[in-house]
Structure 1
Amino acid sequence: MGRGPSIEGRKNAADAQKAKKFTKFIREITIAARVGGGDPIANPRLRLAIDKALTANMTKDTIERALKRGTGEGATEQVVEIRYEGYGPGGVAVMVDCMTDNPTRTVADVRAAFSRNGGNLGTSGSVAFQFTKTGEIIFDIRETPALEEKIMEVALEAGADDVLSEDGFIDVLTSPDSYLGVKAAFEKAGLAPIDSDVVMRPATRAALDGEAAAQMNKLIARLEELDDVQDVHHNADLPA
């Protein structure tokens, strides 16, 4: 009878995933500070990046070092931001946000991920118009449906743009600038979301199933494995 991964093996895998996530947070904090300055109060992008890092339990010392790199007080690296756009299986729109010190390497890796998983890299602007930058705060109320009214009340009082309810889930939508304020209002009210972030929200979704869905999942996984990739956005409606 086969044995699964050892406890040590699972821990090492989890540690590797955590280290990769922290690397992405450090890059985002560094770039945000370089572009908009090191004061989180005056720099909404930096404030959001720090919030994500703290939520993932990154230490304040690590955050401070990333900040100093961004403002030129620490070691610097020539990292640039690049967004690649393309199409996945079934014509799904895909955007890939990268931070890299070697764009030639990065575009080759991204192009290979698309071509090997039923997609193709497009030109700049080919799919971006289908997405809007939006704050999303998601609640699961399947076991506590009575919370719906309270969530809606807090959301609207805090300045959310919209509240969508479907199949026991509530999706609170905000502008990027008001996202952290709305999120803080929920925390103050003792309401914990299952997920929250500022995302590129698609105007419509493309339903996939069968082989197309399997290929799309492989494409997403491969892109997310690439060291230079920060975020992958798409409009696929994939089976659970």
Structure 2
Amino acid sequence: MGRGPSIAARKGASDAQRGRLFTKLIREISMAARTGGAEPDTNGRLSLAISKALQANMPKDTIERAVKRAAGEGADATQEIRYEGYAPGGVAVMVDCMTDNPTRTVAEVRHAFSKQGGSLGTTGSVSYLFSEQGQIVLETGDDAALEERLLEAALDAGADDVISEDGYTEVVTTPTQFTAVQAALEAIGHPILEASVGQRPATTIAVTGDDAEAVAKLLERLEALDDVQEVYSNAELPV
């Protein structure tokens, strides 16, 4: 019987994955501070980026350095670019990047699409299928009273929708109401599993078989690119 990867190899892979995550989080913190100011209290994007970094166990001094560097004269020329395209099965994909070399980035993104049978499209080709929304997820089990409290708190704070099913409660908000809704839910004292602002598809496309495999590989390949921050799709993949 063959042996799996050694402890050192697994740790190396884990460290590399953590390093990539930290790089992306620092880029988001820096961009948020550069575009909206260095005060989290008045910059919702920065507040959310810092919250994500803390959840990933990023040291506070690393976060503070990223904010100061972005607000100072030494801020770099990184820019935000969105690429849009189609994966097999007619699946729409959006790729949000931060890069100081758009020529390199678009080549890498285009190669990822073509490698898995997809194609890069023009600006606006799929973005109309998505809208920016906040999402907060909590595990509620079969506690109907807790679900009711979460529902009331979320709606009172301005949430757009609250869905409870299969032991989980999902709260959907506009980006502007996200921080207020999150604070209202945190005040209840029940742990939040996930809190993020991103692009959500209006409808999804179910893909199976070879298409599903190709879509999954494409999304994985895109997410592994150094310049990619977020990848969104309207694919409904098999569990």
TM over 0.5: yes
Normalised to the residue count of structure 2, the TM-score between the two structures is: 0.94
1:69-88 paired onto structure 2 within 5 Å: 69-73=69-73, 75-88=74-87
Matched-pair identity in %:
59
Give the Å deviation of 1:169. 2.9
| Counterparts of residues 98-117 of structure 1 (less than 5 Å) | 98-117=97-116
Deviation at 1:101, TM superposition (A): 1.0
Query: What is the CA distance between 1:145 and its match in structure 2?
Result: 5.2
1:239 aligns with 2:238: yes
Specify the alignment match of 1:36 in structure 2.
36
CA-atom RMSD, angstroms?
1.5
Question: Residue 204 of structure 1: SS of its match in structure 2?
Answer: coil
> Retained in 1: the 8 A contact 2:82–2:94?
yes
Q: Deviations over 1:41-91 (max 9, x none)?
A: 222211111111112121121111111221125x43221110000011111
Gaps of 5+ in 1: none
Alignment deviations for residues 14-62 of structure 1 (CA, whole Å, 9 cap, x no partner) = 1111111110111111111111121222222111111111121211211
SS at match of 1:87: strand
Contact preservation (8 Å) 1:155, 1:163: yes
Q: Which moved further from structure 2: 10-19 or 219-228?
A: 10-19
Number of the residue aligned with 2:54: 54
Residues 109 and 222, structure 2, Cα contact 8 Å, conserved in 1 = yes
Q: List gaps (5 residues or longer) in structure 2.
A: none
Rounded to whole Å, the distance in 2 between the matches of 1:223 and 1:81 is 16
Number of matched pairs: 239
CA–CA distance in structure 1, aligned partners of residues 143 and 62 of structure 2: 38
For 2:156 and 2:203, the matched residues in 1 are separated by 28
Letter in 2 for 1:202: P
Aligned counterpart, 1:205? 204
Residues 44, 179 of structure 2: 8 Å contact kept: no
Cα deviations by residue, 1:179-225 (Å, 9 ceiling, x for unpaired) = 12222222221222322211101100011111111111000000000
SS of alignment partner, residue 159 of structure 2:
coil
